[in-house]
Structure 1
Amino acid sequence: MATAVVATAYGGPEVLSLVEVEVPEPGPGEVSIAVRAAGVNPFDYKLYSGAFGTDPSKLPIRLGLEVAGVVTAVGPDAEGPAGPISVGDEVIATVGGGYATAVTVPAAGVVPKPADVDWKHAAGVLSVGGTAVHLLAATGVGPGDTVLIHGAAGSVGALAAQLAVARGARVIGTASPSRHERLRAYGVEPVAYGPGLADRVKALAPNGIDVALDTVATEEAVDVSLELVADRSRIATIVAFDRAAAEGFKALGMGPGADPGTEIRGNAWRELLPLLSTGKLDLAIAKTFPLSEAAAAHELVIEGHAGGKVILLP
């Protein structure tokens, strides 16, 4: 048995409960993992908020997309993207129902955890990092580009900014003034969001913006992107799906009409983990919570100003 977090109804974080669940023995191509840390993502609370419907037959809903932990059992032919998996391996996994003390998952989503990456960083990098890699790949960010990132101090935005700088791009990032020093440390030119944003960006980049990446979904972010970037194929959002559909720019991720980027995201670990392991990529951890305080963790994420990744520690 394991302890897991489930949503017992649709609503806010108050509907989350701790329950006991069975952990199946791994079948062919599966492994069981003792979870050491689980990443919290905005998609998690959207599952029970009603954003994707309120079908009562889907309750209770298991939550959690990513974990880091230790393999406790393996089924026949348990092989991940990096090769065979053995009991005792420290791993990172893309999962369903990761808010738990233990899970059984397909080995296809399990990759080795670098020894010098701690549990909370390991559990927090795959989802946001995969999204960041997808944003850059979908818009073709490369040397010489000037890139505007809306929400550059958020979990996805900060990784996208660092990766874009590493690829030789000039990056301008929107953030509250309290986060500007952190962005400068990444090689990003910070700019405050709010009225007059387009003019402030133009002053920084009089020769124009090549790419705009939206991680916040504000009207301002979309409007400024459309104003400053001529080629709409080089504007991408991970949140403003309706406007992307209506105005002809790219929507990425799990929203309606979006490109899921399954192959790009599934292989992003190959780029992300070596950088994280060598200290060339900074994943800010905003706060950790015990599994029993998943509701409080979600409240912090819903506020939208956590300032980094939120992690559950079973």
Structure 2
Amino acid sequence: MKAIRYHAFGGPDELRIDEIPVPHAGAGEIRIAVHFAGVTPSDWKRREGQYKAFEDVVFPLTVGVEASGVVDEIGDGVSGIAIGDAVFGFGTGTVAEKAILTHWAAKPTAVSFAVAAGLPVIADTATRALDEVNIATGQTLLVSGAAGGVGTAIVQLASLRGITVIGSARSSKHNYLVSLGAIPTTYGPGLQERIAQLAPMGIDAAIDVAGSGIIPELISIVGNPAQVLSVADFSAEHYGAKFSHGPPEQPEITLATIARLCADGLFKLHIEGVYPLQQTADAHRVSAEGHVTGKLVINVC
């Protein structure tokens, strides 16, 4: 089968289409014929070697940690699912014609395979970040870099919890943030003054999604480093803020919840770009530029 792999750390040019053996589902796993795979920042950060200090690596590596598709093999001990079922979830080496999923949920009929492929990582990251930053109903949350995939999820999930969200993004994305339920503002110089005007009663917590070196300013805005969290800036803890990272703690619950919200029309994910398998490197380049609205996905089938 075809799979996107890299044989050394480096830039997107390290990615290549390889022919590799078809994997088989182990105990507690399923295999899917992949329709779409999501593109996440962890894909290109891992490829660049940013995670090598805390991950064991054996080359070559197949790209991808999330996908949607149709079940074609079921491992021992798995129940409640059948060959031919449409699913989405977390896995390994998902940018391939077939992939193993370790955690999954049924794909709602009303949700496309493309959208479903982009849901797992952002839903998990957003849910975990909101839980860890200690933000409650009726309070106000600032999300820095709110228009990307994780920001998209944080804004909507926070709004569903009754939290007022102010989201920063470039001005061209402000209408998008409004459509998600956020109050938009631009980032850059003068952010603290703009926030003071938008939230005269103050900001109760802040989440950094972009990893743009803004942690000290967010702490100044919130007034308490314990109420500031980043999902992208490894230096956050140096300032007394929190850094949130995986692996997912209750993935089945998160996946089932996001599936239900999407089916009920309470959660939407914008797919900014769909790339064929052979253009995965281009998708990585665009993702690394940091200006994606919503998600990018790879069309595998």
TM-score of the two chains, using structure 1 as the length reference: 0.90
What is the root-mean-square deviation in Å for CA atoms of aligned residues? 1.8
Distance of 1:57 and 1:287 partners within structure 2: 29
Aligned CA distance change for structure 1 residues 122 and 27 (closer, same or farther; 3 Å)? same
**Preserved contact between residue 133 and residue 160 of structure 1 (Cα < 8 Å):** yes
Corresponding residue of 1:250: 242
Aligned CA distance change for structure 1 residues 57 and 160 (closer, same or farther; 3 Å)? closer
Corresponding residue of 1:234: 227
**Preserved contact between residue 134 and residue 265 of structure 1 (Cα < 8 Å):** no
> Deviation of residue 70 (structure 1)?
0.5
**Preserved contact between residue 6 and residue 16 of structure 2 (Cα < 8 Å):** yes
Corresponding residue of 2:35: 36
State the AA in 2 paired with 1:32. R
Between 1:135-144 and 1:304-313, the stretch displaced more is 135-144
Percentage identity across paired residues of the two chains: 34
Corresponding residue of 1:12: 11
Corresponding residue of 2:209: 215
Aligned CA distance change for structure 1 residues 135 and 285 (closer, same or farther; 3 Å)? same
Aligned CA distance change for structure 1 residues 104 and 172 (closer, same or farther; 3 Å)? closer
Distance of 1:89 and 1:139 partners within structure 2: 36
**Preserved contact between residue 67 and residue 123 of structure 1 (Cα < 8 Å):** yes
Match of 1:95 among 79, 91, 94: 91
Corresponding residue of 1:129: 123
> Deviation of residue 113 (structure 1)?
0.9
Match of 1:143 among 118, 129, 137: 137
Could you give the per-residue CA deviations for residues 250-274 of structure 1, whole angstroms, max 9, x where no partner exists? 1001xxxxxx363245531232111
Aligned CA distance change for structure 1 residues 71 and 265 (closer, same or farther; 3 Å)? closer
**Preserved contact between residue 9 and residue 47 of structure 2 (Cα < 8 Å):** yes
Corresponding residue of 1:257: none
Corresponding residue of 1:256: none
State the AA in 1 paired with 2:10. G
Corresponding residue of 1:78: 78
Corresponding residue of 2:157: 163
Distance of 1:274 and 1:29 partners within structure 2: 23
Aligned CA distance change for structure 1 residues 25 and 264 (closer, same or farther; 3 Å)? closer
Distance of 2:166 and 2:140 partners within structure 1: 8
> Deviation of residue 75 (structure 1)?
2.7
Corresponding residue of 2:267: 281
> Deviation of residue 29 (structure 1)?
2.6
**Preserved contact between residue 62 and residue 95 of structure 2 (Cα < 8 Å):** yes
Distance of 1:46 and 1:119 partners within structure 2: 25
Distance of 1:85 and 1:288 partners within structure 2: 28
Could you give the per-residue CA deviations for residues 272-296 of structure 1, whole angstroms, max 9, x where no partner exists? 1111112211111010001111111
Q: Which runs of 5+ in 2 are unaligned?
A: none
Between 1:42-51 and 1:266-275, the stretch displaced more is 266-275
Aligned CA distance change for structure 1 residues 270 and 231 (closer, same or farther; 3 Å)? farther
> Deviation of residue 174 (structure 1)?
0.3
> Deviation of residue 30 (structure 1)?
2.8
Distance of 1:52 and 1:164 partners within structure 2: 29
Distance of 1:4 and 1:313 partners within structure 2: 12
Q: Which runs of 5+ in 1 are unaligned?
A: 254-259
Structure 1's consecutive aligned runs of 4 or more residues displaced over 4 angstroms after TM superposition are 54-57
**SS in structure 2 at match of 1:95:** strand
State the AA in 2 paired with 1:3. K
Corresponding residue of 1:272: 258
State the AA in 2 paired with 1:69. G
> Deviation of residue 57 (structure 1)?
6.8
Aligned CA distance change for structure 1 residues 151 and 306 (closer, same or farther; 3 Å)? same
